[in-house]
Amino acid sequence: MQGRELLTVAGDACGRASEANWRTAANRAYYGTMLEIRDAFTRWGLSVPPPAVVHTLVLQRLFTSKDGDMKLVGRMLDDLRRLRRLADYETGVVWQFASNAEALGAVRRAEKALALFDAIDADASRRSTILAEIQAVHA
């Protein structure tokens, strides 16, 4: 399965009229994005992060690069992670899930982050430079 498939689930959940579905959408938008980037890094030749540190290491790898778009993808993923934490752990009244607006925004951010990352991934020279930067710090 590809992480992108989770974005379809997230989009579907946005269209359902319940807080539980909107929370699910936020969760799936984050995980779909994070898993796609993790798997791309693995294709680039980086090691697969252990589950205990996968969230942190994927973000660290994004922020290690000097490339502005990589840092933007990192900020977008971090925003998705923060919303996912609220969705998963703050079960009381949280304004972000009073409607589907934040969930829809999460799906859009996930799609934008992946489109930006895909453009980087498709540029062999850029990818090579970024990979060398990451390897220099996270061997």
pLDDT digits 0-9 by tens, 27-71:
999 999 999 999 999 999 999 999 999 999 999 999 999 999 999
| CA 13 centroid distance within chain | 17
Report the share of the chain in percent with pLDDT over 90.
Answer: 95
Q: What range does the domain containing 70 cover?
A: 4-137
Q: What's the pLDDT band for 135 if we cut at 50, 70, 90?
A: very high
Number of domains the chain is built from: 1
Residues 41 and 62: their CA atoms lie apart, in Å, by 10
pLDDT beyond 80 at 100: yes
Retrieve residue 54's tokens. 């996968």
